[in-house]
């Protein structure tokens, strides 16, 4: 499976510089060649693909070698220049342990695999400025650059001040080598702490096609600013407007760039990065799925961290939220299919889904509730969806829900991960009934290993179940459960390590624990084939015990 890209003896956090070049997709990533836990000697790992599903590992793009990055080559981005040449901006940790911004360029631009990169001796290009309050330990992760109306390049770098103001610092350049700090940041928010791995990109207000970062007609787009908050290890985004003359980004009404902002994913997902695919005219999102296992287990198995399924990302018609969906190429992995139509899940029922490989599957289901008016009234104090999911687990029955899927389930149901919905109602001041949809991914019973992080995740889904069916798509890959609720309005990634529900011993169920029946209008489940992600002659991958992904046929 694509999820199971494991990198030899290393910890793989942030996806870096994804792009398409001469018809070849490239993914760079933080790579520690020396161990499964984080190390200062981080290099840029590199893999290539023709379809975003099957991957060939390449030699690392570059490693610490200059005074400006001798203590680590950290995260960054790729920009495609107007002449078609890709250029990498990345954070280096210099001799003084300061974070500085460097450049790397391909040695041979005619090589579609870009197997060799060089670093000009003029590095670093940007350094922290103590006069403006930039701490040398809080200055990292440059974004993809974009061209302004004046012909100058812009790029932003994540930072924070001593008083916990998070900000993205703006730099400008005419030649991509000599950069000048702007007098004002692109955006900031007080008391949010360090902003890591920022991403800034336009999205079309009509349709789901992506928009190239520099080629923008102002009236046809909104802008997205995504930041990774180190204090929570979550990715938050706002949607707003960007004044291309004043270089100021302003979130739309209702958005604040803090913990109240919507998240790209409400589970294990961090340091995400997008790129524009100019072949299929779409914007694609990658995220780092961090570990739930303790460090000692990571060392024993020899790897830690992986990349999520790549997702297409676009702006909803309302202009108020982003939608995400697994890229269409994932469908090429589908094998044996099982389908249900117009099936009723009676109150308290659990029904097994036979005929697919439950440890490696793709499930799409559409639910409808006919007795919504019987839903429980939500307590006005219930504003934290994760807390509700944690306290209202499967053992707590309500009128409408919980209903959904039990995945990676052992035969005795001692282990399982449940992905489900609950529906509540609330009455506004005009006595109109409104419905609240809660989506949960419960890991509390996911593994017999009590040392694992078995947090329960939850989020509200912005959908009216009285007007629309409620959909769920879940991708299951041995230790990964990626779920998309309400057509991609809410995404939750769970990281689980079952000890019993492994391989052929894993089972898949649909269930309804509520007191009202739920209609399954349709359900399709597919066994998923494994992707080709191993070339043993140059592979940095190793085989893992609970997946046969590195040695596929």
Active site residues: 14
**CA atoms of 166 and 143, how far apart (whole Å):** 16
Q: Are 76 and 89 in contact (CB under 8 A)?
A: yes
3-state secondary structure of 551: helix
Using alpha carbons, select from 33, 36, 35 the residue that is nearest to residue 62.
33
Angle value at C-alpha 223, between 217 and 224, nearest 5 degrees: 155
**CA atoms of 396 and 456, how far apart (whole Å):** 14
Q: Which residues, in sequence order, are bridge partners of residue 211?
A: none
Q: Are 369 and 518 in contact (CB under 8 A)?
A: yes
- DSSP-derived secondary structure letter, 351: E
What tokens appear for 124 in the block?
Answer: 């670093």
**CA atoms of 395 and 398, how far apart (whole Å):** 10
User: What DSSP line would sit under 236-252, residue for residue?
Assistant: EEEEEEEETTTTEEEEP
Using alpha carbons, select from 331, 322, 326, 332 the residue that is nearest to residue 310.
326
Place of tokens 């609720």: 485
Count other Cβ atoms within 10 Å, centred on residue 22.
12
Using alpha carbons, select from 369, 444, 381 the residue that is nearest to residue 414.
444
Cβ-in-10-Å burial (0-12, 13-18, 19+) of 222 comes to: middle
3-state secondary structure of 69: coil
Count other Cβ atoms within 10 Å, centred on residue 127.
17
What is the helix, strand, coil percentage profile of the chain, to 5?
5, 45, 50
The 3-class SS string of 411-458 reads CCCCCCEEEEEEEEEEECCCCCEEEEEEEEEECCCCCCCCCCCCCEEE
Q: Are 227 and 168 in contact (CB under 8 A)?
A: yes
Q: Which residues contact 131 (CB under 8 A, 6 or more apart)?
A: none
CA 311 remoteness from chain centre = 8
3-state secondary structure of 292: coil
Place of tokens 């993809």: 144
Angle value at C-alpha 355, between 350 and 360, nearest 5 degrees: 90
Place of tokens 């203590």: 71
Q: Are 491 and 485 in contact (CB under 8 A)?
A: yes
């Amino acid at each position: 499976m694509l999820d199971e890209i494991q990198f030899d003896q290393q910890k793989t956090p942030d996806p870096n510089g994804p792009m398409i070049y001469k018809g070849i997709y490239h993914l760079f990533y933080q790579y520690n060649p020396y161990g499964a836990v984080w190390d200062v000697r981080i290099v840029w790992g590199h893999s290539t693909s023709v379809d975003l599903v099957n991957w060939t590992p390449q030699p690392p793009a570059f490693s610490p070698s200059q005074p400006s990055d001798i203590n680590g080559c950290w995260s960054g981005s790729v920009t495609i220049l107007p002449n078609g040449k890709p250029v990498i901006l990345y954070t280096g940790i210099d001799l003084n342990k300061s974070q500085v911004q460097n450049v790397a360029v391909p040695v041979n631009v005619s090589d579609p695999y870009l197997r060799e990169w060089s670093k000009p001796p003029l590095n670093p290009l940007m350094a922290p400025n103590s006069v403006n309050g930039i701490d040398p330990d809080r200055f990292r992760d440059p974004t993809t650059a974009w061209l302004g109306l004046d012909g100058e390049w812009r790029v932003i770098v994540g930072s924070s001040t001593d008083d916990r103001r998070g900000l993205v610092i703006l730099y400008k350049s005419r030649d991509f080598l000599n950069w000048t700090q702007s007098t004002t940041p692109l955006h900031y928010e007080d008391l949010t702490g360090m902003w890591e791995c920022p991403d800034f990109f336009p999205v079309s207000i009509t349709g789901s096609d992506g928009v190239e970062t520099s080629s923008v007609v102002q009236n046809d787009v909104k802008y997205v600013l995504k930041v990774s908050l180190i204090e929570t290890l979550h990715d938050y985004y706002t949607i707003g407007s960007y004044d291309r003359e004043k270089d100021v980004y302003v979130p739309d009404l209702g958005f604040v760039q803090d913990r109240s902002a919507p998240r790209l994913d409400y589970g294990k997902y961090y340091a995400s990065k997008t790129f524009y695919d100019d072949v299929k005219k779409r914007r694609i999102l990658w995220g780092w799925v961090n570990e739930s296992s303790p460090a000692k287990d990571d060392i024993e198995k020899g790897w830690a961290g992986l990349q999520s399924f790549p997702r297409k990302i676009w702006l909803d018609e309302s202009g108020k939220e982003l939608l995400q969906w697994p890229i269409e190429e994932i469908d090429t992995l589908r094998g044996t299919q099982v389908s249900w139509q117009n099936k009723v899940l009676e109150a308290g029922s659990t029904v097994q889904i036979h005929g697919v490989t439950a440890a490696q599957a793709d499930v799409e289901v559409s639910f409808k509730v006919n007795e919504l008016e019987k839903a429980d009234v939500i307590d006005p104090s219930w504003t934290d969806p994760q807390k509700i999911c944690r306290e209202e687990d499967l053992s707590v029955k309500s009128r409408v829900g919980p209903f959904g899927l039990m995945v990676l389930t052992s035969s005795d149901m001692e282990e399982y991960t449940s992905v489900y919905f609950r529906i509540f109602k609330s009455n506004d001041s005009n006595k109109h009934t409104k419905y609240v949809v809660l989506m949960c991914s419960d890991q509390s019973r996911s593994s017999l290993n009590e040392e694992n992080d078995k947090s329960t995740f939850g989020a509200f889904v912005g959908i009216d179940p009285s007007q629309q069916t409620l959909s769920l798509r879940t991708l299951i890959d041995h230790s990964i459960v990626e779920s998309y609720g309400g057509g991609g309005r809410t995404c939750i990634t769970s990281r689980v390590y079952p000890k019993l529900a492994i391989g052929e011993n894993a089972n898949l169920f649909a269930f309804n624990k509520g007191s009202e029946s739920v209609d399954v209008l349709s359900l399709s489940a597919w066994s998923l084939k494994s992707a080709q992600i191993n070339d043993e002659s140059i592979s940095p991958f190793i085989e893992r015990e609970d997946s046969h992904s590195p040695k596929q046929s």
